[in-house]
Amino acid sequence: MLQWFANRTLSEAVFLSLLLLCGNYLFTAFLARYIQKYYKKTGSAELAVYRLQTINKYMSTALLIATMIVEPFLMIPHILSFGEWGRLLSIVLPLLFVAIILLGNQLILHSTNQILRDTTSSRKESVENLSRFLFFTLIPILMMFLFTKFIPQEIQDQLFSGYIMSMVTPMLLIALISVLVSHFHRYMLKATPMPDSDLHRELVLFFQKLNVHKVKLYLWPTSKSRVANALVSGFIQKNIYISDYLIANFTTAELESILAHEIGHIHKKHLWIRLVFAVGAIPFFTFVGEVIEYFAWDISEMGELLMIGVAYLLWFGFLVLYVQRVQERQADAYVLEQGIEPAIYVSALSKLAQLNHTVMRFSRFDETLQTHPSFARRIKWIMSKKDI
């Protein structure tokens, strides 16, 4: 079936690509209208945001994945005629096509997000934020291409020769690129070093109490997009990014409880564990490929794609997300271990849910595909540990 797309002429490929583009946009336009009606019916921004996120996660993503599968078959046969640089174009152009879809969807959903969350960022700012994120996600791919272009072929043949080296080399490359890319997060978030202030000095003293001395604090501008969050990044130099919207709405004690959670990720080596799973995907999918090759005579082309999809869902959709939810529970436990009052931490989590218009509970199935347990489950666990 996919070979049919690969056999299209250039004009036919362009026409079908435009149909795929319009199909994604029409679905998003329908979704925006549906969510606005749903919001008027329920009067709950939290339920409407959750419904939007759920449909985006499953239906919009499925449509986007289908587009990502078909688009390369349409365009790559024509792109490869450009010679060596055609290899780069064959990687970049399908991703650029997906980026155009995502940016268009962002524009279509902009007014819906304003209605649901009372955001004040302009369409231009929303597109700039997403463009910056997409640009930095391309960096690992460009690094891989530069490796294959400028490393002599003889060295590449040695690095990738043999069964073991064909896995070890890409694993090392993924690890190296992941460490390097973590240094770009401040630019992706448009974050700036937290200026010297009473709050900054108080947070530094708090970190010292937790035996943390080499963490840099950054302010992440999200007041217009109304995102209240904090995150940790970096494998060697640890950085913590705090949204200014969170700071504006939290007490110092509540902010410290959230930052203690991020410090918990550092102390328990969670970022390194996630890197292990990213690297571990190489031998896992190598095994999946061998299974597919072994049964190739008895499996259709669509069957092979289905097996790859199931393997991807098992590894990244269930195993990796399960590990991340366990890590979130461990980071919550770390907060309590540091003597943070449970009532303060519960208040902070409740505020996070409220400020981000997040529902307190997820459906049972949907929670298995979340990076975090639901706020209700986390709060219940905290209360059970401290009897509050």
Are 92 and 146 within 8 A, CB to CB? no
Would you tell me how many other CB atoms lie within 10 Å of the CB of residue 126? 20
Print burial letters for 303-324: b (CB count within 10 Å at least 16), e (below 16): ebeebeeebeeebeeeebbebb
Are 360 and 374 within 8 A, CB to CB? yes
Q: Tens place of pLDDT for every residue, the chain, 388 residues?
A: 667 888 888 898 889 999 999 999 999 999 999 999 999 999 999 999 999 999 999 999 999 988 988 888 888 877 777 666 666 677 777 888 889 999 999 999 999 999 999 999 999 999 999 999 888 877 776 666 666 666 666 665 665 666 666 777 778 878 888 888 888 899 999 999 999 999 999 999 999 999 888 899 999 999 999 999 999 999 988 999 999 999 999 999 999 999 999 999 999 999 999 999 999 998 898 888 888 777 766 666 667 777 888 888 889 888 999 999 999 999 999 999 999 999 999 999 999 999 999 999 998 889 999 999 999 999 999 998 865 4
Read off the pTM. Answer: 0.88
DSSP 8-state symbol, 195: P
Longest C-alpha distance within the chain, in Å? 69
Are 165 and 159 within 8 A, CB to CB? yes
Would you tell me how many other CB atoms lie within 10 Å of the CB of residue 203? 20
d(CA 225, CA 249): 14
Q: Where are the alpha helices (DSSP H) in the chain?
A: 2-6, 10-42, 45-55, 61-79, 84-117, 123-150, 153-160, 163-181, 185-188, 198-209, 244-249, 252-267, 270-294, 301-312, 321-337, 342-355, 364-367, 375-386
